[in-house]
Amino acid sequence: MEASLYLHIPFCAGVCDYCDFYSIPVEPKDPRIRRYVDRLLEDGKRFIQDLDITAVPTVYIGGGTPSMLGASEMRRLLEGLAEFWEVPPEEITVEMNPESGDEAFLEACRDSGVTRISLGVQSFHVPSRQAVHRVGADYRADERLRLVRDIFGRQFSVDLIAGLPFQDENILLRDLEQVFAYEPVHISLYALTLEPGTLLETRSRLKKTLIPDQDARDALWITGRDFLEQAGYEQYEVSNFCLNNNQSIHNIRYWRMKNWLGLGAASSSTLIDDETGTGRRVTFEPDLGLYMTRTGTPLTEVLDVLTLMKETFLMGFRYRRGPEEKLFQKRFGLSISECIPRTLGSWRMQGLADPQKTALTSGGLLFLDRFLRDVFEEIETKIRK
């Protein structure tokens, strides 16, 4: 079986108010870091053997903050992973944050086969960063961009957020221009969301942090999108833009619902049987202690045909090229056009879906939630009949 690998590193230098990823704040030399790497490598070896994974097309080390591992633990992790395959993955991405990813870290990544760095800048604007308690200084982000450019050439991505407190159009455009100066082939521009249970959601509700309202946040994001497109970046997914087709191969595999194996606290794996159109998902608890001591009970879910079909649409229509037609036909025994003719027809009439492909247009992506509601309603009506 072929499966991509995702490794979750649940360590950060601090906690950002808007974040809903599982992560705990640690000091750089925390002894748990070394033990966690041991555990990831043990689990990787075990699962790859047990599940008979014979090819790993892509690897993504995300978090949390993978650069909190430091150079030597990241090198040890990558060298340990390399023992799992005979043919190296086509793409290995490592996320890093400016305050923890230094020159030695980047060199360790480059020397151990990493093909792509994803740098979490979010914003250079100090009041915006401070308002959401984002760790790290603005000048450090600039320094790190230079370093990443020196060591990885243009093969890196930068994350930015639109809709932060104290951010207006000029500030967002300044952020984008500052990033452009380093010519990354990939930029992710996220719209700030208030995830339930986050500090930002509470603080915003209590008016302790003032964020732009939803319309203003949307307008800011659209300003950023237009600017990116004018600069030649192609929007190939809801929040992702690239130059010269430098898309994230790993993420495309999620959007097209290909198998992936997740390792680490809070990670999940999804393994699909193409013949039956069903699958299973196993999710580790978001709890470092349970993961390290193997005392947890990972959540196991069966993905039946309807669930998997819905997920295929949910993920696939985020991507500008849409879900993968051939795979859909193989898994579900009909084409996408046969499955949702009413929704596709009506969205094409409105100019929001591509007339040639089963995919949304750039304008249609802005209404993805509404499109998915129509899709789910159409599928459920069919099933009830």
Interface with ligand SF4 (CB under 6 A): 12, 15-16, 19, 21, 23, 63-65, 97, 120
Neighbours of 199 (CB within 10 A): 17
Sort 355 into a burial class: Cβ within 10 Å, 0-12 / 13-18 / 19+.
Answer: exposed
* Least CB distance to ligand SF4 at residue 136 (A): 9
With H, G, I as helix, E, B as strand and everything else as coil, classify residue 133.
Answer: coil
Contacts 24+ apart (CB under 8 A), 309-312: 309/277, 309/339, 309/379, 310/375, 310/376, 310/379, 311/257, 312/257
| Residue placing its CB nearer to ligand SF4 in the complex, 39 or 129 | 129
* Least CB distance to ligand SF4 at residue 359 (A): 30
| Residue placing its CB nearer to ligand SF4 in the complex, 91 or 159 | 159
CA distances from 233 to 88, 171, 257, 321 (A): 29, 20, 25, 16
| Residue placing its CB nearer to ligand SF4 in the complex, 16 or 106 | 16
* Least CB distance to ligand SF4 at residue 10 (A): 8
Dihedrals phi, psi of 215, to nearest 5 degrees: -65, -40
* Least CB distance to ligand SF4 at residue 345 (A): 40
Rounded to 5°, the CA angle 283-329-272 comes to 20
Dihedrals phi, psi of 113, to nearest 5 degrees: 95, 5
Residue 242, strand partner residues: 186, 234
* Least CB distance to ligand SF4 at residue 302 (A): 30
Residue nearest to ligand SF4 (CB): 19
* Least CB distance to ligand SF4 at residue 61 (A): 13
Strands 4-9 and 11-12, by their bridges, are unpaired
CB distance 98 to 123 below 8 Å: no
- Whole-angstrom Cα distance, residue 362 to residue 347? 13
* Least CB distance to ligand SF4 at residue 15 (A): 5
| Residue placing its CB nearer to ligand SF4 in the complex, 16 or 220 | 16
| Residue placing its CB nearer to ligand SF4 in the complex, 23 or 118 | 23
* Least CB distance to ligand SF4 at residue 288 (A): 14
| Residue placing its CB nearer to ligand SF4 in the complex, 16 or 359 | 16
- CA-nearest of 173, 166, 177 to 127 is 166
Q: Quick one: CA torsion of 15, 146, 246, 136, rounded to 10 degrees? A: 10
| Residue placing its CB nearer to ligand SF4 in the complex, 109 or 121 | 121
| Residue placing its CB nearer to ligand SF4 in the complex, 179 or 303 | 179
